[in-house]
Amino acid sequence: MSQNRQIRDVVFVDGVRTPFGRAGEKGIYASTRADDLVVKCIRELMRRNPSLPPARIDEVAIAATTQTGDQGLTIGRTAALLAGLPQSVPGFAIDRMCAGAMTAVTTTASGIGFGTYDVVIAGGVEHMGHHPMGAGADPNPRFMSERIVDPAALNMGNTAENLHDRFPAITKDRTDAYALASQAKLAAAYANDQIQPDLVPVATLKAEQGWTINTVDEPPRPGTTLEDLASLRTPFRAHGRVTAGNAAGLNDGATAALLASAETAAELGLPVKMRLVTYAFAGVAPEVMGIGPVPATEKALKLAGLTIEDIGLFEINEAFAVQVLSFLDHFGIADDDPRVNRYGGAIAVGHPLASSGVRLMNQLARQFAEDSSVQYGITTMCIGLGMGATVIWENPHFVPAGTTVFTEGSAA
C-alpha cells in the first residue's frame, strides 16, 4: 500500500486577514486579545466557504513568535475551539519568527500532499503591543561567550544596517525611494479595491472611544514624501541608513488560509486560487538575516526545475527596504520592476511578524486572478536569527501566450 502512495496536489482555496494595526496603547487593537483576532479570521473563512463542512477540517495550525499570554496555550487548538469548530478538529502552534504563518502553510500542505489531511486552516497572529518581539526571552549565554552569533544578530535593525555595509550600492536614497513607492502602490491598491476583499472587519472597544468597526489597515502613511523620509532618525546606528520610514513598523494582526487537496476542493466545490509548486527554507549568518530569501529562493527554484525568469510575480515581505533590494540586486531585478509587490508591502501595510506569510499569499492570489499571463509567482521573506523562506505557486488562471480564449457568445 505505502509503495503505491502518490503525492497529491495542494491548492490554496482562500485567505483572509484582519486589518493590521499599529502596536501600542494608541493602536486599534490595544484592548483586543490576540486569539480573538485569529478567531475572526477562522470564522470568516468558514462564512466565505459555506460548502465546507466544519467537521471536514483536519487541522488548524496557527503561528505566533511570542507564544505566551493571549498568544499561548497551543493557539491553533484554542482558536479552533473559540471559533466554534467541532471538538474533533485538532490544532497546534508554530514558531518560526516572521515566517510562522508561511511555515504553518507549508507544514500542513505537506500533510495534504502526503495524504494525511484533506482540508486545513493555517495562519498566524502577532500582537506586538501585548508581546514586543523578544520580550521575556532568555538567550543562552553561549551565544555570546562562544561567539555562535554576532551580538548584532539579536536586533533586527542592526542586521539591516549590516546588509547596507555588505552591499554599499544599496544607499539610503535607494531604500527611501523604495519605501515611498511601497506607500504609493498600497494607496493605489486601496483605491482599486484590491486590498479590501480579503479584510475581516474587527470590532474593538476602547474606554474613551466606545465601539469601533475597523475595516482598513492602520499603518499606511499615503502622504509620505522623500523629504519626510530623509528627515527621520536612524535609531540603530549613528548616521545609519535604516529608519522607521524604510522598514516595517511594530504591528498587530492575524491571518488565516484554507488549503486543500485538489481532489477535495473539487469534491466540495471550493475555489482554487493557487496551486502549490514547492517551497524551501534556508539558513544564513544571523547577523545578515535579511539575505535569507536569496538562498531560499535559489533552493526552491532548483526543486521546481524553474529559473528566476519563470517567475512572473513576486510578493516579498518588506521587513526592511535594504533586505528587498539585496534580493532584487542578486537576481538582476530593477527596484521598480512591476512584477514586485504590485500592491505595496509591509513598509506601508505593516508586518505583524508571524502573520505576514499569509498576507503575501492573499495578495499573490488576487494578482493571479487579475493577470492570466502569469504562470508562476513566489512568496518570500527573511526570518530572524538568519533564515529565509520561499514558496512557489502556480496560477490556475494562466493562459499561455497565443491561446485563443472563447467566452460565452463568442464564435467557435
User: Annotated active-site positions, please?
Assistant: 98, 351, 382
Distance CA 232, CA 66 (A): 29
Angle CA(329)–CA(332)–CA(338) in degrees, nearest 5? 95
* 182's grid cell: 511601497
Q: What is the dihedral of CA 128, 130, 133, 134, to 10 degrees?
A: 180
Burial class from Cβ neighbours inside 10 Å (0-12, 13-18, 19+) for residue 231 reads exposed
SS (H, E, C) 347-411: HHHCCCHHHHHHHHHHHHHHHHHHCCCCCEEEEEEEECCCEEEEEEEECCCCCCCCCCCCCCCCC
212, 26 contact by CB (below 8 A):
no
- How many other CB atoms sit within 10 Å of the CB of residue 95? 16
Distance CA 275, CA 268 (A): 17
Q: Which stretch of DSSP H or E encloses residue 252?
A: strand 251-261
